[in-house]
Amino acid sequence: MGEKNDFMREAIRLSVENIDDCGGPFGAVIVKDGKIVSRGVNRVTASNDPTAHAEINAIRAAAQVLGTFDLSGCEIYTSCEPCPMCLGASYWARIDKIYYGNTKDDACKAGFDDSFIYDELAKQKSFRQLVCEQVLREEALDAFSRWAENEDKIK
């Protein structure tokens, strides 16, 4: 059984190692029952995937290893405070706790500034830079109606 500092050191090690492998300086590990079940590093530029953050990659790997989309009972150790996307993914995955090394302010000073996203989320939709327009709501509701009626769904 590992300790908090050991898990965080592994996330930090991954973040440093990833720099030499054409990735961003971010690493994460997911732990369940005192054991690492997955690791992830930032592969945004290496894979041309803006969602390939260390936490997202670790969550995807943990879900595969554990055979479930529900990561209750897991903790994530990440070299940096999660961005809004990774924080949201951690909630969706039902991760119990997040441990992080660097802060979002540290990330900003290093050139990874997510503050505009936090600022945008706090605004009313009509004042956001990214325009969102609702189209064909009534037709789109059909999928939710069918879902609600489906007795075989996985909740």
**For residue 22, which amino acid is it?**
C
Question: What distance lies between CA 70 and its chain's CA centroid?
Answer: 14
Residues 6+ apart with CB under 8 A from 152: none
The one catalytic residue among 55, 81, 120, 139: 55
Report how far residue 107's alpha carbon sits from residue 117's, in angstroms, rounded to the nearest whole number.
14
Q: Is 55 a catalytic residue?
A: yes
Q: How many CB atoms lie within 10 A of CB 26?
A: 30
Joined tokens for residue 47: 């894979």
So which residues are the catalytic ones? Answer: 55
